[in-house]
Amino acid sequence: MSDTSSTLRIVWIYPDLLSTYGDRGNVLILRRRAELRGIPTEVVRVHSSDPVPEEGDVYLLGGGEDRPQILAAQRLRADGGLKRAAERGAVVFAVCAGYQIIGETYGDDQNNPLPGVGILDVRSGRGDTRAVGEIVADVDPALGVGRITGFENHQGRTAIGPAARPLSTTVRGVGNDGTTEGAYQGTVIGTYLHGPALPRNPALADLLLRWRVGEIPPLPPSWGERLHEERLAAAL
């Protein structure tokens, strides 16, 4: 997809396993910001018993508890559809547990390493303490997003390999390791930010749209931008 006349297919991966802390909001706001620009959309909900379609444009994964996370990773690896979609250039946005399982490895509840989907060069394990609270981070300037905010609730610690780059540098909170937050590689993004992340950070939602449809016109400031500024002010 490279224009605003074709239908944007938003694929919501495993809402029955990976949808904690209101991560469905990422689906809703991405669809809304596309349609406000006249871009027709289709949301495809893929449950864990369903095959993952390879012809989607944007794939969204949310957070989940330890056991659902393991099941989701196993099924995504066996299915192969998400990996093939990413290899052909689809956009992937994954949050928390979803972030960990799209990496090379992640840790189970005993911190035993398990294989991930392998579309993002990161490796995650469990830290000694849990990261809970507001997080603020400055996104890599190359992405043109600026400062983002969200809520984190995880015990993960994530190391970024040479093929990926940190999504952002932490201003407040833990993120990957207390220094960086999230990672990206091509058009694949992983982050620990709940909130949900895209409603709280409209510029991040627009980045995903630009990656798939090209340049898009700006929208007038609305509640999303106000929410972003309010949460930044409250967190700092």
Catalytic residues: 96, 194
Question: Do 146 and 140 touch, CB atoms closer than 8 A?
Answer: no
Q: Which of 169, 190, 173, 5 is nearest to 97 (CA)?
A: 190
Q: Does residue 3 come out as left (phi exceeding 0), alpha (psi in the -120 to 50 range) or beta?
A: beta
Q: Which of 145, 137, 140, 135 is nearest to 164 (CA)?
A: 140
Residue 178 has, within 13 A of its CA and on its CB side, a CA count of 4
Q: Is 200 annotated as a binding residue?
A: no
Quote the distance between the C-alpha of residue 129 and its chain's center: 23
Q: How far apart are CA 128 and CA 35, in angstroms?
A: 43
Retrieve residue 69's tokens.
Answer: 């996370």
Annotated binding site: 130
Residue list for the binding site for substrate: 130
